[in-house]
Amino acid sequence: MIGKNFIAILLNAHFPFVRKDSINFSFEELPFFSVISETLLPLLEMFDRLEADKIPFRLGIAISPVLCQLLTDASLINHYLDYVDSQIAFGKAELERLKNDEAARNLVKYYYDNAIERRINFTERYEKNIPRVLSYYQKKGRIELLTSSATNCFLPFYSEHPEVIRAQIETALVSHKKFFGVKPEGFWLPELGYHPNLSAYLHKYDIKYTIIDTHSALLAKPAPKYGIFFPLKTKHNVCLLVKDFYAHRDIMDREQGLPVEGIFRDFFHDAADDLPVEEIECFLEDDGTRLSTGYKYYSIGDSERPRTVYNPHIAAEKAIRYAEQFLKTRVSTLNSVSGLMRKDLSGDAVSLCAWNADFLGRFWHEGVLFLENIFRAGCIKNEIQFITPYEYINSQDSSLFQTVEPEFSSSGFNGYAETWLDASTGQFYRHLFNASERMAELSERFRNETGIKERALNQAAREVLLALSSDWPRLISTQNSKSLPKWRNYAVSELESHLKNFTTIYEALGSSYLSTRFLTDIEQRNHIFPDINYGVFRRK
């Protein structure tokens, strides 16, 4: 469709592997529960409202295999429902405590009603199966689902380790097909970590396109003639869509982004921070750690407006106005770009708005409402069309896509790799490389095993994949100012545990002695990718 400006919104949905074999929900699981209650369920409810109102929305979601596994894990689902029940009970107690403070009581009622509604929607409307609902909307053509590497591995570090790249991609594709019934056309590179060597692997697995960060494209060789608003391609014919830097900054930037407005909710201050322990017994760990209740009573505040009691209605009105402002800015930019492009190109510009899914709703409470009103405002404008990434690629003449070699890059701190590699994390990589090589060796040495040996080899593959997650070094890294000591300790413990489990299996296979009890224990704890075949690590 010549003469159109396109906006493609793409959300990256991922969460670290936080599954625990415990009776009660734990510190590590709470952020995952928050993602369900404040991001994923509101997104599904948004889809329902837009569909009912016949608003022609289009959206891409890159959902990681780990997140899919967590969302369908029976133990985690039970813990989530226990947590929501605790929120409801806490809300009842708070309504009684604040019965003489109308403003505070109204805010408590807002959270209390939300908790009840989300529980009903999760259990009844969506039948405890969020991936199935996403698959439904993909079949209707409203959303497009991309996959990512199996365990959010930062692939550039392993560009010289083909067994790792193949295992991460193959496991991800099998997992995606299991959950959604179709092969994904797009592949989200974790942390937008691009390395020139990755293009050949994506092509081999018939991945049609991936996303790169802005500076990766602008520093490409040769330089992109049409900047970041038109697709590129690699020498292996993998299409590249480029993240719109300004669209990302307007939402995600901690200093310049729209959500820093002082009237919006303060995510980091929870009711549990202020109340006496006897009033938050359901949200205390055995060591006395206070867990988040999800009841957050204050606005962010700023230099002009001191922190006040959060008012969700005023904040919602501001988010709706910001949606209109954001859309106006994108249209202005696309009109300018299109005017330059169409002098010698019969293609259409696109603004790829790529954001972390959990920022909308979980961190920025009004974020999903903001997104909904982008679609509502956009449907009455003739200058733009919302489109999924692959729909956009198919609407363009691929012979016009310029062949480039993008720069090594990421979306991390300073745009390269220091978020995952610094003095605090460097010592782990030799063990990760060694475990990867040993896993490849095992898959060569034991080619057609059955029974307990096959179980052990499959679990060894799971342990290596989990150890390779970029989530652990990101949480450990001193670059991550938001990472609390408890999270750092957890990440170190998880990384070391996966490596230790793998080494135990490796040595047991070498000595021909396997402890069935040990194997069963770690299979139950690190329950992920049930259909994995250890042969994915085999050198080809």
DSSP H or E stretch at residue 148: strand 143-148
Residue with tokens 């295999």: 65
What's the pLDDT score for residue 51? 97
What's the pLDDT score for residue 304? 67
Which CATH number does 5-67+128-256+311-413 carry?
A: 3.20.110.10
Nearest to residue 10, comparing CAs of 360, 305, 265, 255?
A: 360
Output the tens digit of pLDDT for each of the chain's 540 residues.
345 789 999 999 999 999 877 667 778 899 999 999 999 999 999 999 999 999 999 999 999 999 999 999 999 999 999 999 999 999 999 999 999 999 899 999 999 999 999 999 999 999 999 999 999 999 999 999 999 999 999 999 999 999 999 999 999 999 999 999 999 999 999 999 999 999 999 999 999 999 999 999 999 999 999 899 999 999 999 999 999 999 999 998 878 888 888 899 999 999 999 999 999 988 988 778 889 999 999 999 876 667 789 999 999 999 999 999 999 999 999 988 887 777 677 789 999 999 999 999 999 999 999 999 999 998 877 778 999 999 999 999 999 999 999 999 999 989 999 999 999 999 999 999 999 999 999 999 999 899 999 999 999 999 999 999 999 999 998 766 555 788 899 999 999 999 999 999 999 998 878 889 999 999 999 999 999 999 999 987
Q: Where are the domains of the chain?
A: 5-67+128-256+311-413, 422-537
DSSP per residue over 53-99, as a string? TT----EEEEE-HHHHHHHT-HHHHHHHHHHHHHHHHHHHHHHHHTT
Q: What is the pTM of this model?
A: 0.95
Instruction: Give the C-alpha distances (Å, rounded to integers) separating 367 from 42, 320, 398.
Output: 10, 10, 34
Residue with tokens 């204050």: 298
CA atoms of 285 and 493, how far apart (whole Å): 18
Q: Would you say domain 422-537 falls under CATH 3.30.70.1560? A: no
Do 70 and 19 meet the contact criterion of CB atoms below 8 Å apart? yes
CA atoms of 230 and 113, how far apart (whole Å): 45
Instruction: Give the C-alpha distances (Å, rounded to integers) separating 282 from 87, 285, 288, 490.
Output: 9, 9, 11, 22
- How far is C-alpha 323 from the geometric centre of its chain's CA atoms? 22
Mode of pairing for the β-strands spanning 384-386 and 59-63: unpaired
CA atoms of 143 and 59, how far apart (whole Å): 5
Residue with tokens 């991550």: 480
What's the pLDDT score for residue 52? 97
Per DSSP, the three-state class of 474 is helix
Specify the DSSP class assigned to residue 284. B
What's the pLDDT score for residue 2? 44
* C-alpha distance across the termini of the chain, in Å: 43
